Amino acid sequence: MIYLDNAATTRTSSEVVEAMLPYFSEYYGNAGSIYGLGSKSKKALIMARETIAGTIGAQANEIYFTAGGTESDNWVLKAVYESCRNRGGHIITTKIEHHAVLHTCKYLEECGARITYLDVDKDGVVDLEQLKKSIRPDTILISVMYANNEIGTIEPIEKIGEIADEYGVLFHTDAVQAYGHLPIAVERMHIDLLSASGHKFNGPKGVGFLYVNRRTKLGSFIHGGQQERSRRAGTENVPGIVGIAAAAEHASLYMEERATVECRMRDYLIGRIEAEIPGAHLTGHRTMRLPGHVSFCFEGVQGESVLIMLDMQGICASSGSACTTGDPGPSHVLLAAGVTEEMARGSIRLTLSEENTMEELDIVVEALARIVEKLRGM
Ligand SMILES: *Cc1c(COP(=O)(O)O)cnc(C)c1O
């Protein structure tokens, strides 16, 4: 099997699994209990929070553990809207966000929020002038993703942070694709709120975190016990939290090394596809893109058909986002980047990790060339 769908999810690394195991079997205490077994869990939570905070230049009390990226995004949008609704409910986001943001915005619109969806250029980059012009006295939040899951484009987060700071508007970034892969410094980048998810950087599924700047007042998301300083109640997922921290530590330690290897493989794959497959168009920005991210539209084929034929050769890839599989419409991200509907139907995403090899990439290019030619001839 050749796995090229790391933007959908990653393999939980063996070090991470090993770090988690004792917290299922031996140290199963509730972190809220006062006896020794409970305090073992509590200590693990404290350490995990410090580790995660350290990777983004935050303080431990600014990290809240959640059940993943979707929950973190929901929390921010709903809680900011609820708390600031009295001074207007205008939120600025983009047309290319993940559905965790877009569908939450749609829900908030039904509740009375007004939302501006920013355009992107042909490379998927947000228009900063349009952002500035969209800010109004009742704007309560700017939410722009750090890097896009479908086309890999990295957004100018620092500049967006500066603009948000200048106008005194809260800034949230969905950094689910970026965290663990790109350097993040929340203070320098003027980020008030940041979402991340364990399974996108070799951690376990179902655990993520939300960074909330200590000067930002954010309402509770799940009501109940005192966990997560009463803002996200429910017995902590201790093994998951230990796992996400182990993955975060590893990712930040080897980030540069890994990115170098992945960028080299990425550019090799892009180069060969462009040279050897006619009618292949790169989507997203050529250089301002995630290290392991390759995405193309192939003229005259259906992405889904290509995927099925790749699967028959043991190659795992995606047509864009795993979350839209089964959704027959063309990708909202590609349409926002000005790709025609016809062309958007031929989209393929190949997202690699440092575990892939050049030999695998050669096999993939050859399979892809054969499949595209065959489908076009049918
Ligand atoms: C995967 C992803 C999410 C959702 O994260 P989950 O942990 O799977 O809920 C949100 N935003 C982006 C950009 C993603 O890639």
CA of 133 to the centre of ligand 1 (A): 29
CB atoms within 10 A of CB 307: 20
Residue 105 appears among annotated catalytic residues? no
Percent of the chain clearing pLDDT 70 (strictly above): 98
Residue 85 has pLDDT above 90, yes or no: no
**pLDDT at position 307, please?**
97
Give the bridge partners for 120, in sequence order. 126
For residue range 239-275, what is the model confidence (pLDDT) as tens digits?
Answer: 999 999 999 999 999 999 999 999 999 999 999 999 9
Q: Tell me the pLDDT band of 323, cut-offs 50, 70 and 90.
A: very low
For residue range 178-202, what is the model confidence (pLDDT) as tens digits?
Answer: 999 999 999 999 999 999 999 999 9
Residue 327 has pLDDT above 90, yes or no: no
Euclidean distance between CA atoms 106 and 128, whole angstroms: 23
CB atoms within 10 A of CB 16: 24
Question: Under CATH, which architecture does the 14-253 domain have?
Answer: 3-Layer(aba) Sandwich (3.40)
Looking at CATH, the fold of the domain delimited by 2-10+255-377 is given as Aspartate Aminotransferase, domain 1 (3.90.1150)
Residue 44 has pLDDT above 50, yes or no: yes
**pLDDT at position 84, please?**
81
Mutate to test the pocket of ligand 1, among 72, 74, 98, 210 (most ligand atoms within 8 A of CB): 98
Give the bridge partners for 282, in sequence order. 296
177 lines ligand 1 (CB under 6 A): yes
**pLDDT at position 5, please?**
98
174 lines ligand 1 (CB under 6 A): yes
Residue 324 has pLDDT above 90, yes or no: no
Stretch 90-113: mean pLDDT, rounded?
97
**pLDDT at position 331, please?**
95
CA of 177 to the centre of ligand 1 (A): 7
For residue range 135-146, what is the model confidence (pLDDT) as tens digits?
Answer: 999 999 999 999
Task: Say if CB 244 and CB 207 are below 8 A apart.
Answer: yes
Q: How many CA atoms lie within 13 A of 194 on its CB side?
A: 30
Q: Tell me the pLDDT band of 86, cut-offs 50, 70 and 90.
A: confident
Nearest ligand 1 atom, CA 70: 9
Residue 70 has pLDDT above 90, yes or no: yes
**pLDDT at position 326, please?**
60
Q: Tell me the pLDDT of the chain averaged across its residues.
A: 96
Enumerate the domain spans of the chain.
2-10+255-377, 14-253
320 lines ligand 1 (CB under 6 A): no
Euclidean distance between CA atoms 227 and 263, whole angstroms: 40
**pLDDT at position 118, please?**
98
∠ CA 177-181-184, rounded to 5°:
90
Q: Are both 2-10+255-377 and 14-253 of the same fold?
A: no
Q: H helices within the chain, ranges in order?
A: 14-20, 22-25, 36-56, 69-84, 99-111, 128-134, 157-167, 238-253, 255-276, 303-312, 332-336, 341-344, 358-377
**Which CA distances in Å does 78 have to 144, 176, 276, 316?**
16, 18, 47, 35
For residue range 161-177, what is the model confidence (pLDDT) as tens digits?
Answer: 999 999 999 999 999 99
Side chain identity, residue 30: N
